[in-house]
Amino acid sequence: MRSYFPAVGTTGMIRSHHYVASTNLYRQSFVSAFKKFYGNPNEYCILALLPSYLEREGSSLVFMVDELIKETKHSESGFYLHNLDELITKLQQLNNSGQKVLLIGVSFALLDLVEQHKMQLNNTIVMETGGMKGTRRELPREELHQLLCDGLGVSSIHSEYGMTELLSQGYSFGKGLFRTPDWMKVVIRDTNDPFSFVETGQTGGINIIDLANITPALFGT
The string of pLDDT tens digits covering residues 168-214 is: 999 999 988 999 999 999 989 999 888 888 988 889 998 899 999 88
The three-state secondary structure class of 215 is coil
Q: Quick check: is 135 in a domain?
A: yes
Mean pLDDT over residues 108-126, rounded? 95
- C-alpha 135/C-alpha 112 separation (Å) is 11
Q: Quick check: is 196 in a domain?
A: no
Task: Report DSSP state, residue 13.
Answer: P
Q: How far is CA 146 from CA 112, 133, 135, in A?
A: 14, 20, 19
> Is the distance from CB of 76 to CB of 90 less than 8 angstroms?
yes
State the Cα angle at 56 between 51 and 61, rounded to 5°.
70
pLDDT, position 1 = 36
Average predicted confidence (pLDDT) for the chain: 88
> Is the distance from CB of 32 to CB of 72 less than 8 angstroms?
no
Q: Quick check: is 93 in a domain?
A: yes
Q: Quick check: is 104 in a domain?
A: yes
pLDDT, position 7 = 55
Mean pLDDT over residues 63-77, rounded? 96
* Owning domain of residue 137: 3-179
Q: Quick check: is 198 in a domain?
A: no
> Is the distance from CB of 158 to CB of 17 less than 8 angstroms?
no
pLDDT, position 133 = 66
Which residue blocks in 21-178 are alpha helix, DSSP H? Answer: 23-38, 51-54, 60-72, 84-97, 107-116, 141-152
Q: Quick check: is 189 in a domain?
A: no
pLDDT, position 176 = 82
Q: How far is CA 219 from CA 1, 102, 167, in A?
A: 24, 31, 12
Domain count, the chain: 1
Model pLDDT for residues 142-162, shown as the tens digit of each residue: 999 999 999 999 999 999 998
CATH number at residue 65: 3.40.50
Mean pLDDT over residues 29-58, rounded? 91
Structure confidence at residue 221 as a pLDDT band (50, 70, 90): low
Percent of the chain with pLDDT over 90: 62
Structure confidence at residue 123 as a pLDDT band (50, 70, 90): very high
